[in-house]
Structure 1
């Protein structure tokens, strides 16, 4: 009855059960643990150099690295988020009071639109301009209301926010300090060959670093450039639109164009030709080049994934996992491709041996 095979199966069942239970326990703090792991992977090379310089004083090296993360990552993100919430609340109030009327802007575009565009809308079934105007106004109002509500929600749930923030910093410290030993234990427990372990772990860390590094740099540049050109052209809420463009730039290929292209069209159709021309030229030759030149260099080169795979996996990740998905999506795609490459190589080896 109590055979070794039965004991092995019982142990594996228990191992699966406690692993699932542990993941279930971590789910309330999934975001905190996830970003602690991402930041630990990104800053591990710096931490290792610092550890060597400090004579292997692990606690001190982890603490200094944590301070660096606070200064160059968390503090700027916090300040930008506060600015976004303030701008969003201001835009929401202006829409409610009628100071900003996006429906009127849309009506101005349609009034100045050439006949061929109106005919195209007719053929597409978009003949009810009033309905489209209401949809546009209500959509922008809901978006601004969402930002304003979350600004209030963060203030009301400050305790929960600081708890999650504290957990992230706490986990990050120990991942920096003990990350190498933890990674070694995980590799040891994986039932794979050493070659497969090295390949997959290397791909995992490389994709995370490349994805975060590349997307954050591209988002920061496109958001900053977009906000500056909007400010130069006198568009209200330039910091807010810059932040929105930065967020949308996480979507490869389209990104910031979802914001500046409609604004440029509005300028052209309402007689502000030079503003529209400047915005189109700046969007194509400055904002667009940041995406077309830097993203393939920073993301595609290191991940060794085709651009279309990066695009689809990023979009799918954002839909399924929210903001965390811009990292999770490409990581899953890279591991998928790597696993199949390893499988194909392992199947090819026996064939070669048989031929020999």
Structure 2
């Protein structure tokens, strides 16, 4: 049968039109993809409390959603805003103090810094050369000052973007709370179209993996915060509970509690408690820091059938490739891939490894007959 050119042009034009619509829709939605994913993660993890709260509100989803939005804002958004404002305020105060110090001539280094073993004397020598206007040293200072200033500016910009994205995520989460069942029907229909009868199974695997990652982060934060509090309490650090609470929030960063523990150790060394300073440094870096590598994979593994090694690969690889969002998406993608691969390899195979098989020898049919 002869195929006319017009019979090919019409489907091709339709396909091009569909692709163009998808591309334009992607361009429109691309700035909001990150916020939508964060909102979906928040709603997935907090859906059960929302349903319980909706029951107390006599089925009024709007009131329950607004209450959840308020709770999430106090838990996630307010610490970020307060921390950012405190950072800007302290940075401004530091600039004022430095300006006052240099207005009366080149200041002397603090005694505790000049008397540090091994590094105190070189620091003091370079500080004096810098005060004398040494050309070579001034050139090095200018060379390193520019990247530091750029880093601080990028840090402030990232903080501002984070606040905006988190605010947008919370607003989208409110929509998901109100339309959660409708969104779930769309997701189930999409997964059935893609994976057939296994669509619901894969959707459940993805959901349990995300919940496992969140539980891992929350559990790790509580463990690291408690360990940090115990360490500060043993060393006699003032406001140990406050420092432990701050370590709990900093645990979302790799080595975050150590960023607080090491300055505390330096402060204790400056006050003459060198032994307790060494204890705090070792406790925060060695014990509290290593808890992240042990507790988090164990808690994630409780909600996922993914092997321990793949969980670690998912968390670390996802963080390296996609940032903080990749910490959640990495294990989820590996869990779905693992389930698909396992189902494909062992589909229809009831006993892939015969009884009595070893790594060196698999029993043959004749061996079974002799038995």
Q: Could you state the TM-score of these two structures normalised by the residue count of structure 1?
A: 0.64
State how far apart, in whole Å, the 1-side matches of 2:268 and 2:306 are.
38
Distance 2:248 2:51 in 1: 35
The alpha-carbon deviation at position 167 of structure 1 amounts to: 3.5
Find the counterpart in structure 2 of residue 34 from structure 1. 37
Q: Which residue of structure 1 lines up, in the alignment, with residue 347 of structure 2?
A: 346
Query: Are positions 1:324 and 2:325 aligned together?
Result: yes
Work out the CA distance in 1 between the residues paired with 2:345 and 2:96.
Answer: 58
How well do the aligned residues superpose, as a CA RMSD in angstroms?
Answer: 5.2
Alignment-derived partner of residue 145 in structure 1: 152
Structure 2 CA distance for partners of 1:184 and 1:172, relative to 1, 3 Å: same
Tell me what 2:214 maps to.
212
The CA deviation at 1:178 is 1.0
Residues 187 and 197 in structure 1, CA contact (< 8 A), matched pair in contact too: yes
Equivalent residue number for residue 65 of structure 2:
62
Distance in 2 (CA, whole Å) between partners of 1:323 and 1:337 is 22
SS at match of 2:306: coil
Relative to structure 1, is the Cα distance of residues 192 and 318 closer, same or farther in structure 2, using a 3 angstrom cutoff?
Answer: closer
Aligned counterpart for 1:72 among listed residues 70, 75, 88: 75
Q: Which has the larger radius of gyration?
A: 2
1:230-278 deviation digits (Å, cap 9, x = unpaired): 99669xxx97x99699556544xx665587579979999xx96403431
Alpha-carbon shift at residue 65 of structure 1 (Å): 2.5
Do the aligned partners of residues 94 and 282 (structure 1) sit closer, same or farther apart at CA in structure 2, a change above 3 Å counting? farther
Which stretch shows the higher mean deviation, 273-282 or 173-182?
273-282
CA distance in 2, matches of 1:244, 1:146: 25
Q: In the TM superposition, what is the alpha-carbon distance from 1:212 to its structure 2 partner?
A: 2.4
CA distance in 2, matches of 1:315, 1:296: 11
Is the 1:109–1:266 contact (alpha carbons within 8 Å) kept by the matching residues of 2? no
| C-alpha contact (below 8 Å) 1:317/1:325 kept by paired residues | yes
Q: Which runs of 5+ in 1 are unaligned?
A: 113-129
Distance in 2, Cα, partners of 1:317 & 1:100? 47
> Which one has a larger percent helix, Structure 1 or Structure 2?
1
Q: 1:197 aligns with which of 193, 196, 199?
A: 199
Distance in structure 2 (CA, Å) of the matches to 1:139 and 1:109: 29
2:311 matches 1:310:
yes
CA contact (8 A) 1:89 1:147 kept: no
C-alpha displacement at 1:84, in angstroms? 4.6
Which residue does 1:123 correspond to in 2? Answer: none
Deviates more, 1:189-198 or 1:259-268: 259-268
Give how far 1:44 is off.
Answer: 1.3
Give the match for residue 186 of structure 2.
Answer: 185
Unaligned runs of 5+ in 2: 121-136, 354-371
Aligned equivalents of 1:20 and 1:347: distance in 2? 40
Contact persistence 1:313–1:329 (CA under 8 A): yes
Aligned to 1:283: 284
TM-score with structure 2 setting the length: 0.62
Summarize deviations over 1:78-118 as a string: whole Å, max 9, x none. Answer: 334434554566678889979999xx979956459xxxxxx
Counterpart CA distance in 2 for 1:100 and 1:176 is 59
Q: Deviations over 1:205-249 (max 9, x none)?
A: 122222123224424653686598499669xxx97x996995565
Going from structure 1 to structure 2, the CA distance change for 1:166 and 1:343 (only over 3 Å counts) comes to same
The structural deviation recorded for 1:279 is 1.5
